[in-house]
Amino acid sequence: MALKINRDICTSCGDCEPVCPTKSIKPFKGAYKIEADTCTECEGEHDEPQCLKVCMEDGCIEYID
């Protein structure tokens, strides 16, 4: 599983990018996106995804199958 950023909700604050241990979060067309191929949901490094922890917008970052 991986995470994705809802571009309609993302405010482009950039808080999520530096906390991603796999560098899977990148700027994309005025917002941010998560590279599903490299996103590990922080498993093995943290108890919870760090991007979810720092994001201030409800529903901005969500799980995908």
Assign a CATH topology to domain 2-64.
Alpha-Beta Plaits (3.30.70)
pLDDT at 1 (0 to 100): 74
Across the range 25-54, mean pLDDT stands at: 96
Per-residue model confidence (pLDDT) at position 50 = 98
- Residue 19's nearest CA partner among 36, 2, 41 is 41
Contact of 34 with 22, CB cutoff 8 Å: no
Rounded Cα distance between 56 and 65, Å, is 23
pLDDT of residue 6: 96
Instruction: Look at residue 51 and tell me whether its pLDDT is greater than 80.
Output: yes
Amino acid residing at 46: H
Q: Domain residues of the chain, as ranges?
A: 2-64
What is residue 31's predicted lDDT score, i.e. its pLDDT? 94
Q: Say whether pTM exceeds 0.85.
A: yes
